[in-house]
Amino acid sequence: MKLIKKEDLPGLYGYLASAGKKIFAPVRKNGMVSFSFTSAFEEIEMSYIQTKLSAKAAAFPKIEKLMKYTIQKEGQSYEPYDVEKFPGIVVWGAHPCDAAAFHPLNAVFTWETHDKYFTRRMENLLIIGLSCTSHDEFCFCTSVGVHPGDTKGSDIQLTPLPGGDYLAEIITTKGEAVAAAVPALFSPAPGLNKEELVTSVEKRFDHEALHAKINGMFDHPVWKEQALRCIGCGACTYVCPICSCFDIQDEGGIFGGLRYRCWDSCGFGHFTIHTSGHNPRESQDTRWRQRLMHKFSYQPQRQEVFGCVGCGRCSRNCPVDMNISEHLTQIMAV
């Protein structure tokens, strides 16, 4: 356990920037805090409850260009984007839920095939976590196995001290390499109980029990009841740090173009539509069920991860208040 003084944070930022890293950090603008690429430490907002969009874009951006193609008389050719040119990215100041979310995200992109774009971005990623000293009523990390002081996923974890300095835990070898490069920024930590510094989030249900229960609920009437007001948009999915569905698109003209993947959502009515016109998820309740079953039944079963870290974004941003922890609590009760 180390200490980093608040006046030394810009030094850490400066070191990472000078090492060529792109720093993706919470920035307050237009009345909201969002992860953005920054060019100066001063842009960063270190005290926030939760950002609008998650940090997943650092590895799974809303648009990932895959290749360029040309179509000519002589034939077709394509040229994939060079992953070696991907910049190193630092996710700066991600709360424990967001830092933890990269693990289940990674589980999807490395499940059978190792997606080379995602994997490369992950290899290049450094995560500086930030323990939570406050939360709101949408946060429910403790119900899904994450804790506001957790270090899982982070390379270095900062915990704010009342005076403005930070406890710094060096978690991984990536983190160690950084600390070793700028040793002067870190001093020995005072003897403090970290538990007392972080916020305490009430546990609403137990995720293992939820998993055991939800597995058998495919045909339960609760989905129909819960999903009536859902408008089938992509808001919950796009703000979620774990939702990983994507679409692949070709865009261009007759002589060539560009192939990319972009975010997609199981909430959309046409997500599962077949060429025949048949839609296996023909109503919104079957899509809502998919969202929850995927996160709490299928992902734990197949990839041994939960698809939710309790960040509460989906609930804060849903236009019709489909509050996920409220719904999960109800599911535990039926």
Partner 1 sequence: MNKLKEKAKELLSSGAVQVVVGYEEGTGGKIRPAFVSRPEDADKLLYNADCHHNLALYLYKHETKRIGKMAVVAPPFVLRSILILTTEFQLEEDSLVVLGVTPEEELIEFANFKEIETWVNQHPIGMKEKDREMLNRLNAMSRDERWQFWQNEFSKCIKCFACRGTCPMCSCFRCTVDYNAPQWISVGSHQLGNFDWHLMRAMHLAGRCSVCGQCGEACPMDIPVHLLSFQINEDIFKMFGSRAGLTLKKESLLSTWKSNDVENFIR
Partner 2 sequence: MDQFEPKIVAFVCNWCTYAGADLTGTSRLKYAHNVRIIRFPCTGRIDFLLLQQAFAKGADGIIVSGCHPNDCHYTSGNFHARRRWMVFRQMLENMGVEAERIVFSWVSAAEGAKWADLVNETVESIKKLGPYHKYQDMAKSLEEWEVTHE
Residues in contact with partner 1 by the rule CB under 8 A = 30-32, 52-53, 62-63, 136-138, 224, 227-229, 231-235, 237-239, 247, 249, 251, 260, 262-263, 265, 268, 270, 283-285, 315-317, 319-321, 323, 326
Q: Which of 80, 89, 86 is nearest to 56 (CA)?
A: 89
| Rounded least distance, CB 240 to ligand SF4, Å | 3
- Any idea of the CA torsion for 204, 206, 207, 213, to the nearest 10 degrees? -110
Question: Is residue 20 part of the contact set for partner 2 (CB under 8 A)?
Answer: no
Burial classification of residue 233, based on how many CB atoms lie within 10 Å of its CB (0-12 exposed, 13-18 middle, 19 or more buried): middle
Question: Is residue 253 part of the contact set for partner 2 (CB under 8 A)?
Answer: yes
Partner in contact with 208, chosen from partner 1, ligand SF4, partner 2, none, beta carbon below 5 to 8 Å by kind? none
Partner in contact with 262, chosen from partner 2, ligand SF4, partner 1, none, beta carbon below 5 to 8 Å by kind? partner 1
Question: Is residue 92 part of the contact set for partner 2 (CB under 8 A)?
Answer: no
Q: Residue 249 and residue 327: Cα distance in Å, rounded?
A: 34
Partner in contact with 323, chosen from partner 2, partner 1, ligand SF4, none, beta carbon below 5 to 8 Å by kind? partner 1
Q: Residue 131 and residue 30: Cα distance in Å, rounded?
A: 25
> What SS3 state is found at 8?
helix
Six token digits for residue 297: 């039944």
Q: Which residue has the tokens 């039944």?
A: 297
Over the window 23 to 42, marking each residue x when it contacts partner 2 by CB under 8 A and - when it does not, the resulting string is -x----------xxx-----
| Rounded least distance, CB 294 to ligand SF4, Å | 10
Q: Residue 63 and residue 52: Cα distance in Å, rounded?
A: 18
Partner in contact with 32, chosen from ligand SF4, partner 2, partner 1, none, beta carbon below 5 to 8 Å by kind? partner 1
**Closer CB to ligand SF4, residue 96 or residue 160?**
96
Q: Give one DSSP letter per residue of 197-208, joined into a string.
A: HS------S-HH
Residues that bind ligand SF4 (CB under 6 A): 230-233, 235-236, 239-242, 267, 295, 308-314, 318-320, 322, 324
| Rounded least distance, CB 98 to partner 1, Å | 17
CA-to-CA dists, residue 75 to 69, 71, 254, 255, angstroms:
11, 6, 13, 11
| DSSP assigned state of 137 | T
State the residues that interact with partner 2 by CB under 8 A.
22, 24, 35-37, 57-58, 61-65, 86-87, 89, 121, 251, 253, 258, 260
